[in-house]
Amino acid sequence: MSAVAVVARPASAFPYWRWERESPGLIEQYRQNQPVPHILLKDFLEPDAALAIAAEFPAPNSDAWTHYRHHNEDTLGLPKREQFPRLLGEVVDELNSPAFLRWVSQLTGIEGLVADPSMEGGGLHQSGRGGFLNIHTDFSHHHYHKHWRRRVNLILYLNAGWQNQWGGAIELWDAKMQRCVAKYPPFLNHALIFQTDEKSFHGFPEPLTCPEGDSRKSLALYYYTIDQGRVPDKARSTDYRARPGDGIGKSALIWLDKKAVDIYSRAKARFGFSDDLASKALRWFSGKK
């Protein structure tokens, strides 16, 4: 009987030595890319680390997942660090570490970035066949830290063997929502880092066609700066938008659902409740147990 090889995770999953060596070119590329400052980094983590965390990505059939299932979205989310498998948790800790924050600040030119240990709205995400996420901009301030302003998104894709024809590429749209300017498939160990503001429209709006039992998997981390002054009276909620070809009926439903999400987000920020109750309600309405 042959022995089974066990691949040990490198001491540091993120190869600082390589990315720091390439920093001058990366910084220039990040700032010049359209429609918003962004960059796609292939082989983001050490290859063995990426394979290891992809292999231990949790299955969707757990009550731990939050169900985001409404007109603008059909995805699952798991933001609770204590429920992550060991290696995934260690990678999250590293990508939230002071050393990594310094690297992101250097890349983006945004000083004073802070990580969010609660991973509000982020963490692990996955969508099965039929899943989608309509084009949107992100909420502007942390729901539980009103002085935290969201500045940078990092999305690491963990899909070994993903096929282009299954869809799921993240689309970056122009500020007027007239056209898709950039599009990136969710391939294993590819990471997209981008500025998030009122003009950073993104999503994967077409339903996935991956086989049943497969899913589009990612790790999302959001970085903030702390406003010293007063938070604006109207912090933005997630702003879903229709595409030019969506038609009047679909566009109206996107707008109505966006308004419902806005009401929910403001209530969440004011009263401090979690997404668990909303997830259960959405599962019940969609006929899921």
pLDDT tens digits for range 34-92: 999 999 999 999 999 999 999 999 999 888 899 999 999 999 999 999 999 999 999 99
User: In this structure, what token pair is assigned to residue 276?
Assistant: 């668990």
Q: Which of 86, 82, 78, 104 is nearest to 23 (CA)?
A: 104
User: Would you say the pTM of this structure is higher than 0.85?
Assistant: yes
Helix (H) or strand (E) holding 163: none
Query: Over its length of 289 residues, how does the chain's per-residue pLDDT go in tens digits?
Result: 333 333 344 468 999 999 999 999 999 999 999 999 999 999 999 999 999 999 999 999 888 899 999 999 999 999 999 999 999 999 999 999 999 999 999 999 999 999 999 999 999 999 999 999 999 999 999 988 888 999 999 999 999 999 999 999 999 999 999 999 999 999 999 999 999 999 999 999 999 999 999 999 999 999 999 987 665 557 889 999 999 999 999 999 999 999 998 887 777 666 666 666 555 554 544 454 4
Show the domains of the chain with their CATH numbers: 29-282 (2.60.120.620)
- pLDDT in the model for residue 132: 98
Tell me the C-alpha distance between 117 and 112, whole Å: 16
Angstrom distance (rounded) from CA 16 to CA 2: 36
How is residue 61 written in tokens?
A: 């059939």
The pair of three-digit structure tokens given for residue 266, joined into one six-digit string: 């403001």
